[in-house]
Structure 1
Amino acid sequence: MENSIDDLLDLIHKWKSFRENDASGDAISFARWLLNREGAGQDAEKSVVENSKNVIRTYQSPDISNKALVGYLLGRMNMFVKNYAKEPFQKLGVASIEEFRLLALTQRLKNPNRSEISNEAMMEFSTVNDMLKRLEKRGLIAHEKDENDKRASRVSLTPKGKELLGKIFNALAGMQPKVTGDLSDEEQENLVSLLMRLNRFHTHYFETEFKKKK
């Protein structure tokens, strides 16, 4: 699936290059341009023409195209981060980026209960509960009774957990390559602003609409 999307993105970029040189060009002329450029034989012409038409249909519907690309690229960035973080996490004894998320959420939410962590992490309660048990066995978190609900418990970081979380943040700050790549400071600020806007939109939708459908 990923390879096919990469091929589609490559074809879209080629279509843009083609239109820069021939603003009135159609799918057939684009296919011939590709064939001449890449030295393909006549047997490939029908396939190239059909693929070109599909790309043009997508490209000429920018709303559809952009939605697909944004989702794909955000997912791809997430995979980059997971791969880049593997080595520093392993050195610190952190099993996964999800463990880091739970530790960070426990600190940020200030003594949350397990349901609050599950909701904020957007993970199944049973999965979060199992992970919290493992973190507790390692001495990274502690449970204490909830004064308002005797059946529930509150989660907090132990001194060992706080120390580990600090080391993780330092490791991520020094991670190479940086997640922001070669973006300038201004570009980074613009990106953060847009991502925060998307986060606010989806947080509201997730809480008010999506959960009701489940």
Structure 2
Amino acid sequence: MKSYQLIHELISLVERQENENPGKEISLAEFSGFLSNNIAEEEITALSEDVRFGKNEAPAQDLAYQLDNSIGRLFVYMSRYAKSYIKKALDGTAIQSAEEFTALSILLTHDHLSKSELISNNLQEKTSGTEVIRRLIAGGLMSQADDLKDKRSKNVAITPLGREVLFDIFVDMNQVGKMITGNLTESEKLALYHLLQKLENFHLDHFRKKTISSKADLLSFADNIQASV
């Protein structure tokens, strides 16, 4: 009986798509896309309620539950969960933060980098990135030397102690990765990875080109994105 109900739902969806596209032959690929969109809309409706929200300010909640805003909110939540797991994994080590961990991990794959290159690769602002480098140098995990090509610049490299500390942490950080991906299946992880990599490519390009330097830039680019999708 459950199979019959499923077939009935599929037939109803085919009829709905035909009604929305009168006179047009619907291909399997087009129906597959239509089906995916409808499933996604149903899932968004079913899962949109945020357990943190109360009953007040319905107009504000309507804005919060718009698709882009919901995704943004979930990204914030995920980043905070990840930071809490990383903090626990780093407990008792010579590394104090996720930013220090990623800075050393990037350096591990290079002979050396300039301070500005490392800060940029670590997706940090100059002030906070400089403080991370200062702490790592003070802890003996990173060394610095004059840049032979540019006397105004300093190059940094990971030290033997930094390598040792980093490899000790890798084991626990692997468990953090498993915790972050949670109860996703292998296929769901692959789908999520594909989408996140697409977003990473988009945002990294803006970050490196420094295209978003003001509120006006943010609003302008956001409008252009919506118009081009």
Question: Superposition pairs for residues 8-157 of structure 1, below 5 Å?
Answer: 16=45, 51=58, 65-157=66-158
**Equivalent position SS for 1:95:** coil
Worse-superposed segment, 144-153 or 70-79:
144-153
Residue identity in the other structure for 1:210: I
Shift of 1:72: 1.0
Normalised by the size of structure 1, how large is the TM-score? 0.67
In the aligned structure 1, how far is the partner of 2:106 from the partner of 2:178? 25
In the aligned structure 2, how far is the partner of 1:107 from the partner of 1:82? 22
In the aligned structure 2, how far is the partner of 1:56 from the partner of 1:133? 45
Contact kept? 2:144, 2:157, Cα under 8 Å: yes
Query: Is there any run of 5+ residues in structure 1 with no aligned partner, and where?
Result: 1-12, 18-46, 60-64
Contact kept? 1:142, 1:158, Cα under 8 Å: yes
In the aligned structure 2, how far is the partner of 1:16 from the partner of 1:67? 14
Normalised by the size of structure 2, how large is the TM-score? 0.63
In the aligned structure 2, how far is the partner of 1:145 from the partner of 1:135? 17
In the aligned structure 2, how far is the partner of 1:174 from the partner of 1:207? 31
Shift of 1:109: 4.7
**Equivalent position SS for 2:77:** helix
Query: Is there any run of 5+ residues in structure 2 with no aligned partner, and where?
Result: 1-41, 47-54, 219-229
Contact kept? 1:140, 1:158, Cα under 8 Å: yes
* Pairwise CA RMSD: 3.1
In the aligned structure 1, how far is the partner of 2:102 from the partner of 2:172? 14
Residue identity in the other structure for 1:88: A
Distance 1:207 1:163, change over 3 A: same
Worse-superposed segment, 177-186 or 120-129:
120-129
**Equivalent position SS for 1:154:** strand
Number of matched pairs: 167
Q: Could you give the per-residue CA deviations for residues 17-73 of structure 1, whole angstroms, max 9, x where no partner exists?
A: 5xxxxxxxxxxxxxxxxxxxxxxxxxxxxx77x72x7656776xxxxx121111111
**Equivalent position SS for 2:113:** coil
In the aligned structure 2, how far is the partner of 1:152 from the partner of 1:162? 24
In the aligned structure 2, how far is the partner of 1:69 from the partner of 1:195? 16
What's 2:212 paired with?
210
